[in-house]
Structures are given as structure tokens and as C-alpha cells.
Amino acid sequence: MSSQKIIVANWKLERSFARAQEWVATHRDDLSELAHKAELVLCPDIITTASLGQLLQGTGIALGAQDCSPYRSGKYTGAVSAQSLHDVGCTYVIIGHHEQRSRSTLTDSDYAVSCAMALQCGIIPVLCLGELAEDRFNHQKIKDLFATNLELLYRQYRSNGLKNNKGTLCIAYEPIWAIGSGDFPTADELVDRISSLRDLINTYDAVPATRIVYGGSVTAEHCEFLRDIPYLDGLLLGSSSLDMQSLKKIVYSFIK
Ligand code: PGA
């Protein structure tokens, strides 16, 4: 598994096609600099993805998407396949983000299938898992949520014969109450959640290296303690990834 930290920038619907291109063109040198510090993945909206891939060439920055369908092909209006993401140069895809789940009828099993679709196309899925505010202090419920989803994910992994795929998987711990709210888990909570995830992952044999990232209201101020959380391999950023100065501060304070 790469020891390099990973920073996934989820641009959501915050940046239009034209603005995304302009931003990347303006900050090309900064982006190249950051690519030496971390594995940085930009996830624009779907229509921007292909053109951004071309603009990012030579910067060392990876391209990601914000979602992919559990279906390979067929009559699924509006869906985006893993194959298309691969064709336009995506190497990562965020799967099951809360903002996507809350508008969808897809289930945990469907998101596990989306992850398998991505893996089959050589794309690393970033599967988002996190608890509701009311479950914040329910340790067992959170552990069950992790266990259920990891079982679904690794079952897909095994049944699709993905065993020999060299790619890695990525799990994003994103407490729903922390996304876009400014609320943040304590260091103790994070140590507990991340090590729970790591322990569960370690119970599976013959699965690829799995990285764990944290997402939800991350700012540079949190990075001092985030970088000391054991087994935390990276961050999933929303708002704070939209501004180059804040992105740089985060990368430089998370990765010393
Ligand atoms: P936020 O978003 O950093 O703006 O809270 C994180 C995410 O939704 O992935």
C-alpha cells in the first residue's frame, strides 16, 4: 500500500464547467507542487470530468468522480457507468456519499456493487460510511454499520474475482452530522472510529490494501491532531478544497 497520504477534493456542485477549468489553469503550478506532497484527487461534477482530465495532464493530480452506477449498462437514464469514468481518465470515484444516498433509493448492497464496478474498470472506489447525529455516541451501532458495509464490499470483491486486482480500496469515514456543518469529532472519537475500521478490515484475508480517510468539515485547524490519528491515510475535503490557500494549508499541516 502506498504510504503517501491521499487528499480527495469533492467539489460537489460548487464549481461550474468553466470555473473549474479556469481554476485549474490558474493554479496549475500550485497543483503540481501539492502533487509532490500527497496523492491529490480532484472530483468535479460529471460534465467537467473529461475536460479536467486533459487539463490535469502533467500535473501529477488524479481525477475522480462523485458517483458511479451499480449497473454496467442499460436503460438507466441519467446514470454514469464506471467504464465511462475509466474512459475519460478517472482513477478514483466517490461512492455512497451521504448527499447522494439521501437523494437515492440505492441500498448499501448497491453501493458495494458500484465499488465492484469501479474496481473492474481499474478505478479505486472511495466508499463513504458514517452515522447520523442521533447515533454519534452509539459505538455499537457505528461498528455494526462499518461491519455490514465492509462485509458487503469484500463479498463483492471476492465474488467478482477481483482478488488479483492490484488496486487499493478506500473507505471514507464521514459522520453525517459533520458534513458541511462545522461540527467535528473529538480526537478520541476519531481514534476509536478509525481503529474500529482498521480492525475490521484486518479480519479480511486476501483483500487489497484498504486506505481509510476522514471527511466532514475539515479545515487546516484540525490537521494538527488529524495527522496524529493512527491508521488515518488521508482526508476527504468538501468546502475547504475549493480555495487554493485553504487546500495548501491543509496539505501542509496534515503532511509534515
Ligand atoms: P465538507 O464536505 O468538508 O464541506 O464538510 C465533506 C464531504 O461532504 O465530503
Closest residue CA from atom 2 of ligand 1: 238
pLDDT of residue 206: 65
3-class DSSP state of 206:
coil
pLDDT of residue 116: 92
d(CA 250, CA 235): 9
Do residues 162 and 207 make contact, with C-beta atoms less than 8 angstroms apart?
no
For 4-61, the DSSP string reads: S-EEEEE-TTSS-HHHHHHHHHHTHHHHHHHHHHSEEEEE--HHHHHHHHHHHTTTT-
pLDDT digits (tens, 9 = 90+) for 92-128: 999 999 999 999 999 999 999 999 999 999 999 999 9
Quote the cell numbers at residue 110.
Answer: 448497491
Ligand 1 atom closest to Cα of 216?
A: 5
Active site (catalytic) residues: 97, 174
Within 13 Å and on the Cβ side, how many CA atoms surround 227?
A: 16
pLDDT digits (tens, 9 = 90+) for 57-80: 899 999 999 999 999 999 999 999
pTM value surpassing 0.75: yes
**Does the C-beta of 9 come closer than 6 Å to ligand 1?**
no
* Stretch 15-35: mean pLDDT: 96
Closest residue CA from atom 9 of ligand 1: 238
Do residues 168 and 90 make contact, with C-beta atoms less than 8 angstroms apart?
no
Closest residue CA from atom 7 of ligand 1: 238
pLDDT category at 161 given cuts 50, 70, 90 is low
Ligand 1 atom closest to Cα of 236?
A: 9
pLDDT category at 170 given cuts 50, 70, 90 is very high
Q: What is the largest CA-CA distance in the chain?
A: 48
Alpha-carbon dihedral of residues 105, 213, 134, 195, nearest 10 degrees?
A: 120
* Stretch 125-152: mean pLDDT: 97
